[in-house]
Copies of this chain bind each other. A is one copy, B any other.
Amino acid sequence: MGQVAWKALFLSLFDYKTEKYVIAKNKKVGILYRVVQLSVLAYLVGWVFVVKKGYQDTDTSLQSSVITKLKGVAFTNTSELGERLWDVADYVIPPQGESVFFVMTNLIVTPNQRQATCPESASIPDALCHKDEDCLEGEAVVAGNGVKTGRCLRDRDSTRGTCEILAWCPVEKRSKPKKPLLGSAENFTVYIKNSIRFPKFKFSKMNVLATDNESYLKTCRYSAEHPYCPIFVLGNIVRWAGGDFQEMALGGGVIGIQIEWNCDLDKAPSECNPHYSFSRLDNKSAETSISSGYNFRFAKYYRDAEGVDYRTLIKAYGIRFDVMVNGKAGKFNIIPTVINISSGLALMGAGAFFCDLVLLYLIKKSNFYRGKKYEEVNPIPGSHCLVRHRMGIRAQTSWVGSKHSGGSASWTCASVKPHRCETTPALGGGDQGYCLLPGFPEEKNVL
């Protein structure tokens, strides 16, 4: 017996259970549902998969290495510096060609500065004074160039002067040239070499065409016609970034060179190409604002015969180029695919839910459908089945199922399906009912 039960249980494991559906021959809702299904399908296939490539796993953290190399010379002739030629070693800082490089286009030179005492620049508020007491000895000038010595230097006739300071003297004078010194830097070219790697997919590539045609790489210039030429004319970069080179050359600025790699690694590697874009990073919106322009100071140090250090201070204005590389690689992966498909299926479920609402509450006949969809079952605890025999044999034959009075029995019947419960006018009074069951319950003789 137990064995049999186990066998049955085991076999029942391989019974296939499938939801029971009610077919509502209601074309309105039917069409509505089809529309929902179609739109979900369209969203899933069209948007998620085709447009958004939802079947791909993506890697956005790429490793990038940038090498930059500038070319170009400029000739200047100023009262200060005389005839002078500027080459790469002069105007590129730092020289080693990293992803962030600076091209000096304008400069304020303060030659032969030595450690000494001299008047602070009058353009610094904190340095103004009327008498020595205004210059507290040893106090550093706020936003200034040195430390006060305690003396106030005045022209004999004027009442105001500037504190004397210990500093690199003479101090820099704050006059910016009206026109950029190296305006011709507009024609300089920069060669940008960028090799990237998507670690997740172990995929590497360079922005330089693997061409054997060297002369092309030597002579080409990046443009709409040559999107894969890695040589850029500075003037163009600034123009594309929406700036005016001469104006930036004067006050300096920062240009972002964005290299974007959007690679679909399900396609050929050759289709994974960089896309360049250019933008100005110091907010040029407010020209006067403190946050526009770009400059810094550096010094060249010399030592004279007596072994005393002196220096040439250079306030360099120029354009800093930040090469910023980012990218996104996608490759087919089962997990996002499954997740997106499932979300689609779930959506359909939601759609069905919505249609049910319509069917069950919004249309005429909804009462009817509600009744069909929801089958109320409610065991009546006390319910039982009176069974009365009449001509047992015949009963066996002519009546199928248990016989009883009172549908209350129905729960007995209810417990198995399909069932039917009937009542017939009794012969000789009393009522009989019977269930029609497949494999029906044992019958007791009750009276």
Residue of B nearest to A291 (CB): B208
Q: Cβ of A283: which chain B residues have Cβ within 8 Å of it?
A: 195, 206, 208, 210
**Contact across chains for B407 and A402 when beta carbons are under 8 A apart:** yes
Residue among A100, A254, A326, A405 with most chain B CB within 10 A: A405
Complex Cα spacing A320 to B376, Å: 76
**Contact across chains for B367 and A377 when beta carbons are under 8 A apart:** no
Residue of B nearest to A97 (CB): B296
**Contact across chains for B16 and A372 when beta carbons are under 8 A apart:** no
> Could you mark each residue 365-387 of chain A with 1 if its beta carbon is under 8 Å from any beta carbon of chain B, else 0?
10111011111111100000000
Interface residue A34 (Cβ < 8 Å from any Cβ of B): yes
Stretch of A154-162, A232-240, A241-249, A435-443 at the chain-chain interface:
A435-443
> Which residues of A (28-87) have their CB < 8 Å from a CB of B?
29-34, 43, 47-48, 52, 54, 60-61, 63-65, 67, 69, 71-75, 83-85, 87
> Could you mark each residue 165-179 of chain A with 1 if its beta carbon is under 8 Å from any beta carbon of chain B, else 0?
011100000000000
Contacts A14-B30, A214-B289, A326-B61 given: A425-B424 contact, CB under 8 Å?
A: no
Residue of B nearest to A31 (CB): B14
> Could you mark each residue 427-447 of chain A with 1 if its beta carbon is under 8 Å from any beta carbon of chain B, else 0?
110111111111111011011
State the Cβ distance, A316 to closest chain B Cβ, in Å: 8
The prevalent SS among residues of A at the interface is mixed
Contacts A15-B30, A60-B60, A146-B73 given: A416-B23 contact, CB under 8 Å?
A: no
Chain A: how many interface residues by the 8 Å CB criterion?
Answer: 192
**Contact across chains for B23 and A376 when beta carbons are under 8 A apart:** yes
**Contact across chains for B65 and A324 when beta carbons are under 8 A apart:** yes
Interface residue A404 (Cβ < 8 Å from any Cβ of B): yes
Contacts A296-B69, A320-B96, A341-B350 given: A408-B418 contact, CB under 8 Å?
A: no
Q: Cβ of A302: which chain B residues have Cβ within 8 Å of it?
A: 302-303
**Contact across chains for B65 and A254 when beta carbons are under 8 A apart:** yes
> Could you mark each residue 406-425 of chain A with 1 if its beta carbon is under 8 Å from any beta carbon of chain B, else 0?
11111111111111111111
**Contact across chains for B420 and A435 when beta carbons are under 8 A apart:** yes
State the Cβ distance, A385 to closest chain B Cβ, in Å: 10
Q: Which residue of B74, B112, B412 contacts A418 across the interface (Cβ within 8 Å)?
A: B412
Q: Which residue of B15, B326, B423 contacts A401 across the interface (Cβ within 8 Å)?
A: B423
Contacts A19-B21, A141-B73 given: A147-B85 contact, CB under 8 Å?
A: yes
Interface residue A282 (Cβ < 8 Å from any Cβ of B): yes
Q: Cβ of A398: which chain B residues have Cβ within 8 Å of it?
A: 405, 424, 430-431, 446-447
Complex Cα spacing A19 to B360, Å: 12
**Contact across chains for B404 and A294 when beta carbons are under 8 A apart:** no
**Contact across chains for A296 and B342 when beta carbons are under 8 A apart:** no
Complex Cα spacing A375 to B144, Å: 92
State the Cβ distance, A217 to closest chain B Cβ, in Å: 5
Contacts A85-B147, A283-B206, A408-B420 given: A24-B18 contact, CB under 8 Å?
A: yes
Complex Cα spacing A432 to B95, Å: 106
Q: Cβ of A438: which chain B residues have Cβ within 8 Å of it?
A: 368, 378, 437, 439-440
Stretch of A127-135, A263-271, A351-359 at the chain-chain interface:
A351-359
Q: Which residue of B72, B346, B377 contacts A345 across the interface (Cβ within 8 Å)?
A: B346
**Contact across chains for A279 and B204 when beta carbons are under 8 A apart:** yes
Interface residue A349 (Cβ < 8 Å from any Cβ of B): yes
Complex Cα spacing A301 to B303, Å: 9
Q: Cβ of A407: which chain B residues have Cβ within 8 Å of it?
A: 399-411, 413, 433
State the Cβ distance, A242 to closest chain B Cβ, in Å: 12
Complex Cα spacing A447 to B332, Å: 68
Interface residue A223 (Cβ < 8 Å from any Cβ of B): no
Q: Which residue of B72, B258, B372 contacts A20 across the interface (Cβ within 8 Å)?
A: B372
The 30 sampled A-B contact pairs (Cβ below 8 Å) are A13-B30, A15-B27, A22-B377, A63-B256, A64-B324, A65-B324, A67-B254, A67-B320, A74-B140, A75-B146, A85-B115, A93-B96, A193-B282, A195-B254, A195-B256, A195-B281, A208-B289, A210-B283, A346-B346, A368-B416, A375-B415, A375-B417, A398-B430, A400-B405, A400-B440, A402-B408, A405-B431, A407-B413, A407-B433, A427-B427
Sample of 10 further A-B pairs with CB below 8 A, known A64-B324, A369-B377: A17-B23, A23-B377, A210-B285, A343-B346, A349-B349, A371-B415, A401-B408, A406-B421, A407-B413, A422-B434
